[in-house]
Structure 1
């Protein structure tokens, strides 16, 4: 168990692979922990230093009082990377993790040399939508939202698998405070202008059945960055790294190799 004490928050993280290799950092989605990437890590090229972490209010990290700002979430991983001595990373973020990826890439270009914005957007939803979701969590807990969230997360066929139950449990066991806090961070974020200023290798990944961040939103966001690439994964919802891990890993590995990050 590795935990970085950053003062106002304690972040649980893993640091695997070659300690002297090119670093790759993964940032997961709302309502999941670093196990989101379990199927992807073994398929990565040899020689990488692989860092995953639980954002505040999720997994085994501490859960400060809500609400959170996107600036705080970006600052958390910025401090974690500084703590670990990581520079020039390839940063992979999914959903809220993709927003964190955008914010960090703009704020600290020394930390990020290439970015993957997966199932995310420069702006996701509306303030009213997130206010309703936060109110629902406060009134009835995450369980009250779970079935609707699962519909957005996964294509219909995945709902009939045993694994589906585990992912639903991961969602509902997320602290209400952490889920509401990160929902507030998404609600207050619009990265259209900052993301358009980026000039680094960038890849957007979307799932064809994603009910949270549809492919058109991901494409619109990644197209803000000149020279970026876009990949669509069929028969996958909001978490294609779970539903279609082989295809996700293939796309990611092509990008890793294409940017010379090996």
Structure 2
């Protein structure tokens, strides 16, 4: 269950831990539903990013939210990591919890991991919901969109990495939030707990930035994924994500697309009711469609 504490939704479930792929992963499993749904947070965050939507999802699903390796309560290993490790962790967690096949919902870098999982391990998936993955490799080389992404990489993101390397984790987090992800002034408006989480997880963000395959996905393998796909975006999000979603729609023609009105890069935090509605409606519709196909 979840409880309201001073206007914020926080989890009342104790954290559990599982050892997968040589790393200790922290997770919470909430609800007794027959259908498993796994939530994958983005960079800088933790499983608590999903607290506003878990109560609305629990009546329909067995909801699993976890801290990705290197984040918050999960283990942070030394040495260069990779998103491929995140993909392997996610698949192993689903299997460990006997949640195959699972719905997987990812935001930002978590959405990129979800799509990489669809390309690498479609066997563990019931379907996917992804919000604005930063998969810049999908942008056409030499296009204005690719140039804009490169300008962000060489501008504010390079400065974010420099600040983390210099030990200024708080300054790096503020710059990322205000100049890249959410817009000017967003850092000041974030709850104290979320700001602390960002600062705590800054070293892992630097590790992600140093992964040369972070913004890439195997397009050929992804195009072979035929399960249900919901692509979502916010009409107030940075415009860089739009061409990425356009390319994903070409690779995954079965995908549906929803735009959250008035929302940006974290609709599960800012517009939780709309987020829950879209996830529940899409998964229910997809399940009904699968049943009809099975009866043919």
TM-score over 0.5 (shorter chain): yes
2:275 is aligned to: 248
- 2:29 aligned counterpart, secondary structure: strand
- After superposition, residues 131-150 of structure 1 pair within 5 angstroms as 133-150=160-177
Summarize the Cα distance change of 1:40–1:213 in structure 2 as closer, same or farther, 3 Å threshold. Answer: farther
Unaligned runs of 5+ in 1: none
1:8 is aligned to: 22
- 1:145 aligned counterpart, secondary structure: helix
Q: Partners in 2 of 1:226 and 1:156 — Cα distance?
A: 35
2:208 and 2:214 in contact (8 A); partners too: no
Summarize the Cα distance change of 1:146–1:211 in structure 2 as closer, same or farther, 3 Å threshold. Answer: farther
2:31 and 2:62 in contact (8 A); partners too: yes
**How many pairs does the alignment contain?**
259
- Which has the bigger relative contact order, CA under 8 A and spacing at least 6? 1
Please, what is the CA RMSD of the aligned residues?
Answer: 2.7
Q: Which moved more, 1:55-64 or 1:230-239?
A: 230-239
1:215 and 1:232 in contact (8 A); partners too: no
Summarize the Cα distance change of 1:96–1:244 in structure 2 as closer, same or farther, 3 Å threshold. Answer: same
2:266 is aligned to: 239
Query: Given the alignment, which residue of 76, 88, 104 partners 2:89?
Result: 76
- 1:232 aligned counterpart, secondary structure: strand
Q: Partners in 1 of 2:62 and 2:214 — Cα distance?
A: 32
Summarize the Cα distance change of 1:212–1:239 in structure 2 as closer, same or farther, 3 Å threshold. Answer: farther
- 1:76 aligned counterpart, secondary structure: helix
1:105 is aligned to: 118
Deviations 1:225-258 (A, max 9, x none): 0121111112222111111111111111111111
1:119 and 1:214 in contact (8 A); partners too: yes
Q: Partners in 1 of 2:48 and 2:210 — Cα distance?
A: 23
Summarize the Cα distance change of 1:210–1:148 in structure 2 as closer, same or farther, 3 Å threshold. Answer: farther
Deviations 1:59-115 (A, max 9, x none): 200001242112111111111112112201111111111111111112222211211
Question: When the two structures are superposed, what TM-score results if normalisation uses the length of structure 1?
Answer: 0.87
- After superposition, residues 8-157 of structure 1 pair within 5 angstroms as 8-18=22-32, 21-44=34-57, 46-123=59-136, 125-126=149-150, 129=154, 133-151=160-178, 152-154=180-182
1:207 is aligned to: 234
Q: Partners in 2 of 1:186 and 1:141 — Cα distance?
A: 23
Q: Partners in 2 of 1:146 and 1:69 — Cα distance?
A: 20
